[in-house]
Structure 1
Amino acid sequence: MAGLEGTIAGEHEMDLVSMNVGIGKGDGKVLGSERGREQEAARVFDMVSRGERWRHAAKANPKALLWCSYSLFSCIMWGYDGLASSIVLAISRFREDYGTFSYVKDNNDHEWAIPAIWQLGLGAASLIGLLVGGIGAGFLAKKYGRQLCMALSYAFTIIGVFLQWFSAASSTKHGNMPMLFGGKVLTGIPLGVFITIAPTYCAEIAPLPLRGAVTSAVNWSIVFGQCLAYVVIHQTQNLPSANSYRILFAVQWIFAAIGLGVLFFFPESPYFLVAQGRIEKAKENARRLYGRGFDVDGLISSIELLLMHEAETQKTASFRECFRGTNSKRTLIAMSTFFIQSICGIAWIIGYMAYTLELGGLSDTSAFNVTMGLSFVMLIGNMFGWVFVERYGRRGTALYGCITLAISLIVIGITGCFKQGIWAQVVFMAVWSFTYQSTIGSVAWPIVTEVSKSSLRNHTQSLATITSGVVGAISGVCLPFMVNPDEANMGGKVGFVYGALLGLSCVGVWMYYPETKGRTFAEIDRLFEMRVHPRKFARTKLDD
């Protein structure tokens, strides 16, 4: 965070547009003072951070990366629970225990099925919890820190899974769907908290050369959780008792136990501690995170000056402040990133891939195997995303990723027009899966955390999470009508819808997405305050 922090103390004595970031006109009054020393310490720290190579940063900061990994661990639950909520419907014992015996017109027979109202209800339960958790995290993390938020979230997980476990059917009773619904709401709350806290913590803790890669690993954690859910259901779905689906729920107890066991040692972010005025504790945590030889005083000075400047330019940290002045542009960029994630076909590919392939003629086993295989393709693709966000930048990765995804979806739509094109659909679904995870799926996370102000980061992440949840809910309502044989029966032609939406989004990405790669938070603040056009961020130089 070099350039800007050196000017913050003199903001009222010099014109911000002058681009003069060193010692300004009014700094002579404080030369040799404590403020002057802080400015110089911050300037040197930021200069060193910008010049550091990623290999050196990784080798020199193993503890910081380890704690980032712990925060990412919580996101595995997001992926696991999100997929488990939908694939549990495929377990015949679950349908028998919670469903009704319904007449099937197609084969003139009866079978157990979950009523449509409860299918929507279970999806809505997770969404309700997600929204509550996302909003709550924005408030609580700012006031009480991330450690308390995570502790409460793990407690909600334990209680929610408890309700799901004991809602199961027994020899004397049918499955209790309202209790299952309540359990899903409770386990949904931590998902909103984790997906808000993890990326913001990583953005603040990760060394600058690794910030994009580490933050984008949020998506890898989500995909890993989805793959884990597939593995669990593959092993348990044919068990002859309620354990065929109970075990799918109970695995989340393991996540919560591990998370709580390590949480006691979790170091709060120095950004939060400095904002609370706990400077000595911030220095202590910085030493724990970065070890000996790290410029702790430079880091703390940099954070202090950054937060001081933000306090001078905004009234308070609130959701309303996210939409004032230049903050509104930053917030809309963040929200639009998660909006694009949700309208690029993710709900269809992940949630309805197997169903669509079955309707297209594949057997149940083949469809499940393809779905599971593509999930691992996504996992590998996300690892490429770690490289892409640093090599090609945030803007380039998002733009070219959206273009490739739009083309893939259009091709899937074309192949969906031909009955014999089912395997061509599979191929381009694989292309889509790899591209999504290596581009917009990965890069959305660093974009959201970097374009937001430090003091508004939790609030902005909450708004992005809410955007994702709302758009995902709309997709969840519309997709059954688009895919089901007794409705629109679009099959692979759904790709046309998402391809068109994504094509329009490409224009927005090209117009309004800035390049924040290699920029300190203070530099990003300044570029927005100077109203530099997002397309010109990469070319704009700030003097030291």
Structure 2
Amino acid sequence: MGAEGKNMAISDSAAPGKDAWKDALKSHPRALLWCSYALLTCVMWGYDGLAGSIVLAIAQFRKDYGQEFEGKFVIPAIWQLAFGAGGLIGLVGGGAVTGVAAKKWGRQICIMVAYVFSVVGVFLQWFSPGNLPLFFGGKVLTGLPLGVFVTIAPTYCAEIAPAALRGAVTAGVNWSIVLGQCLAYVVMRQTQSLPGPNAYRILFGVQWIFAAISLAILPFFVESPYHLVAQGKDDKARVNIRKLYGDNTNAEGMLASIKADLDNANQTLRAASFRDCFRGTNTQRTLIAMSTFVVQAVCGISWIIGYMAYFLILGGMSDARAFDATVGLSFIMLVGNMFGWVLIERFGRRGTALWGAVILTLTLFMIGVMSILPVAGALWAQVAFMAVWSFTYQATIGSVAWPIITEVSTSALRGHTQSLATITNGLAGAVSGVLLPFAVNPDQGNMGGRIAFIYGGFLSLCCILIWMYYPETKGRSFAEIDRLFEMGVRPREFRTTVLLPAKDAKGAA
């Protein structure tokens, strides 16, 4: 008999509630506020990650750092590659270190050190006009904290958010990233016409404000009870449970539930290692988590978000109109991401990912078709389809990756799995970072919108991967998800597999 037809006894998790959305919002405001703080760090991730790309669209930056080509200043493709690589080196390095450092020293220390690197990195960029190596060094240093933030925020939110809001809150990581991107576009739009280096270096200096706000709040940070229990600090975990969920919370019951979740993983964070992520059923779970960022990369995210303004300017659009188009698209993405909160909880993680990938594939092919049609208005038609792409991406693939990663990973390895996913994100971005400058630069491939055909082809293959291997984890406790993987249930049959309570399963036996 196939595993999908079995019933399995399981003790349901009692972690913050099976509350409805409204009840969860009313019952756990402090936990949600600390989730918001974690998400604030991801605003900086989105801001810095985009600022390093859109700065190429600022004429003064191209003049100070670039070289003249056919009457226009162009940043050499090799240095564009270096800028992207610098940030990605930091992202991968930060993500790799955080998985171990957060386990040993806790998230508070990791966040503090990350902001120190960020402040120093922005300092180097601020004083680097015309100095390409110094600017590159600043990109590496600001990339390191991005790896820290994007590793800590989703795991922390998944562990302390009310169960009824877990998907929406972890998807909020992407909303925060998009908000940071929106802010970067707005700052660029307001400063790009300033005289001299201030036209672009204010874009980087704004990050000091993020750091100041976050560091002022950091001393009051409430560590996740999951992390504390895994470290054997039950008394501190009990105190933090009351800080997060109120004095009337059944702290002992919640503490027992957390221990049960960790016991179900058959290990503790103190004993866990990256090697454990590729043992037994953890291999499948880790590969699913890592693949989500590969899917994001082949959607064309680096091209449409990072090179949008640059692409439109090279296509003949004025600087002002190109900037306006990118600002408009960024806010479309922000709204799309909020739709994603609803889609994830209504249609589930698997359905949102699958149908989102299908729609994005079709949209990319339409962008490619518009790029080869020799008709007036073709460029604006591409912009229109990019708007459709932007909304759909943020409402589906962009949002759903975060709850998938935090839910498919076992409790004891959640931090390690998120680190591996972050590394994968950096490596996938590195591939795009290497190829894009040579594909779109006028002195290189000059592909323009035709590059959408390549992304569409790869994404069509990802649609098959999602259908075959992505499970539905909506409404499941962490313990239930553990049991489904242990049973060998095929991912596409998670939703229909029935797990009986322990007493019912014993009777059925």
Structure 1 and Structure 2 fold alike (TM over 0.5): yes
Alpha-carbon distance in 2 for matches of 1:540, 1:349:
39
Report the counterpart of residue 440 of structure 1 in structure 2. 397
User: Residue type of the partner of 1:535?
Assistant: R
Cα distance in 2 between the residues matched to 1:519 and 1:20: 14
> What is aligned with 1:19?
8
- Is 1:140 the counterpart of 2:101? The answer is yes
Question: Matches of 1:119 and 1:205 in 2, distance apart?
Answer: 40
Q: 1:518 to 1:255 in 2, by over 3 A?
A: same
**Where do residues 63-212 of structure 1 align in structure 2 (5 Å cutoff)?**
63-99=30-66, 102-104=67-69, 106-107=70-71, 112-168=73-129, 175-212=130-167
Say which structure, 1 or 2, has more relative contact order (CA 8 Å, 6+ apart): 2
| Greater mean deviation of Cα atoms: 452-461 or 361-370 | 361-370
Aligned positions of 1:32-51 closer than 5 A: 45=14, 49-50=17-18
Query: How big is the alpha-carbon RMSD for the aligned residues of Structure 1 and Structure 2?
Result: 1.9
- Whole-angstrom distance in 2 between the partners of 1:45 and 1:463: 28
Amino acid of the residue matched to residue 76 of structure 1? Answer: V
Shift of 1:415: 1.4
- Following TM superposition, by how much is the alpha carbon of 1:399 offset from its aligned partner in structure 2, in angstroms? 0.5
SS at match of 1:49: coil
The Cα offsets for residues 273-296 of structure 1, whole Å up to 9 and x where unpaired, read as: 000111111011011111133222
**1:451 aligned partner:** 408
Offset, 1:354: 2.5
1:539 is paired with a residue whose SS is: coil
Q: Distance in 1 between matches of 2:175 and 2:467?
A: 25
Aligned position for 2:441: 484
Summarize deviations over 1:45-100 as a string: whole Å, max 9, x none: 36x823x211101111111111000000000111111111122233333334444x
Identity of matched residues, %: 63
Which residue in 2 is equivalent to 1:37?
none
User: Which ranges in structure 1 are unaligned for 5 or more consecutive residues?
Assistant: 1-16, 23-42, 169-174
Structure 2 residue 462 is the aligned partner of structure 1 residue 512? no
Tell me the residue number matched to 1:56: 23
Alpha-carbon separation, structure 2, partners of 1:318 and 1:460: 10
- Tell whether 2:186 aligns with 1:231: yes
Aligned length: 494
Measured after TM superposition, the shift of residue 143 of structure 1 is 1.6
> Which deviates the most, 235-244 or 456-465?
235-244
Alpha-carbon distance, 1:315 to partner: 10
The residue identity in structure 2 corresponding to 1:45 is: A
1:353 matched to which residue of 2?
308
Paired AA for residue 84 in structure 2? G
Deviation at 1:336, TM superposition (A): 0.7
Q: CA deviation at 1:112?
A: 4.9
Which residue pairs with 2:507 in the alignment? Answer: none
Superposed CA deviations along residues 327-367 of structure 1, whole A, max 9, x for unmatched, are: 00000000111110111111111122223333444333222
Does the 8 A contact of 1:44 with 1:298 survive in 2?
Answer: no
1:21 offset after TM fit, Å? 3.3
Provide the rounded CA distance (Å) in 2 between the counterparts of 1:89 and 1:145.
Answer: 37
Deviates more, 1:534-543 or 1:431-440: 534-543
**Cα distance, 1:227 vs. partner?**
0.9
Matched, 1:288 2:243: yes
TM-score (norm 1): 0.87
Query: 1:28 aligns to what?
Result: none
Paired position in structure 1 for 2:286: 331
User: d(CA) in 1 for partners of 2:76 and 2:127?
Assistant: 21
The structural deviation recorded for 1:466 is: 1.1
8 Å CA contact 1:125, 1:185 repeated in 2: yes
Specify whether residues 349 and 103 from structure 1 end up closer, same or farther in structure 2 by C-alpha distance, changes over 3 A only. closer
Shift in Å, 1:141: 1.0
What is the rounded CA distance, in whole Å, between the counterparts of 2:319 and 2:204 in structure 1? 23
Query: Do structure 1's residue 414 and structure 2's residue 369 form an aligned pair?
Result: yes
For residues 340 and 487 of structure 1, what CA distance do their matches in structure 2 show? 26
